[in-house]
Amino acid sequence: MLKRALILPGLVLVAGVLAMIVILAMPAAGPVPVAAQQAYPAPATPPPPAYPAPATALPAATPVSPVRATATPAPATATKDATATAVPAMPTRTPVPTRVPPTAAQVAQAVVPTPASSDALICVPGQTMIVTGVAPPRAPLLLLFGTRVVGGGSATASGDFALPLTFGVERAGVHTITVQVRGARQVVQTLTCEMPPTTPTPVVRRTR
């Protein structure tokens, strides 16, 4: 048993020595042929480097100023403007007609409206009065001063009439003005007129 244990290490030692002798006896290896080196085709792309390439410095980015939106003021509504700037309407003035001064003839013949039957009327020589009243429609009319016919006319379709009367030189006193329907003797208006006394014109007499 002891003998076998000693033989096994000795065999291992002898095998190692023989291997070293064989290695040393082999000729030095020459250059390897190109064909032997290219037993396998080279890859199409070069292999990545063992270490990453240094990062290329990028140019500094230019800061861009932010664009500010300008708020456009909205126009004021028509209702707000109308309420804030409402102006009261000015009243329209009616143009006043230009008065024409009366002529001398118009002053001498001033028209006097007809007074009521109970009012006293002063008759002035040279003055014109308009006698008005109501009569049958379209009736022919006569205007009398006392018992004398001094004018006339006709009523309108509604029965109204207006007859002018110009006073002459009459005797002083109260006179009657009458309007009646021609041919029928129908009285439709009666007035009283007082004629003032006229002042006598002094007469210059020559003495010898």
**What's 131's domain CATH number?**
2.60.40.10
* In-domain check, residue 52: no
- Regarding predicted confidence, which is higher, 83 or 19? 19
- Regarding predicted confidence, which is higher, 172 or 83? 172
* Number of domains making up the chain: 1
What pTM was estimated for this model as a whole? 0.39
Of 190, 186, 164, 163, nearest in space to 175 by CA: 190
- Regarding predicted confidence, which is higher, 153 or 44? 153
* In-domain check, residue 119: yes
Distance CA 177, CA 192 (A): 6
Average pLDDT over residues 69-82: 51
Say if residue 134's pLDDT is above 90: yes
Which pLDDT value is given to residue 23? 83
* In-domain check, residue 164: yes
Which pLDDT value is given to residue 36? 44
Q: For residue range 173-197, list pLDDT tens digits in order.
A: 899 999 999 988 899 999 998 988 8
* In-domain check, residue 121: yes
| Identity of residue 162 | A
DSSP state at residue 8? H
Say if residue 156's pLDDT is above 90: yes
Which pLDDT value is given to residue 68? 59
Q: Which domain holds residue 119?
A: 108-195
- Regarding predicted confidence, which is higher, 135 or 33? 135
Q: Name residue 187's beta-bridge partners.
A: 180
In whole numbers, what is the pLDDT of the chain averaged over residues? 70
* In-domain check, residue 116: yes
DSSP for 129-148, written as a single string: EEEEEE-STT-EEEEEETTE
* In-domain check, residue 59: no
Residue 150 near residue 144, CB atoms below 8 Å: yes
* In-domain check, residue 17: no
Average pLDDT over residues 33-61: 53
* In-domain check, residue 128: yes
Say if residue 96's pLDDT is above 80: no
pLDDT grade for 22, boundaries at 50, 70 and 90: confident
State the sign of the Cα–Cα–Cα–Cα dihedral 189, 145, 167, 182.
positive
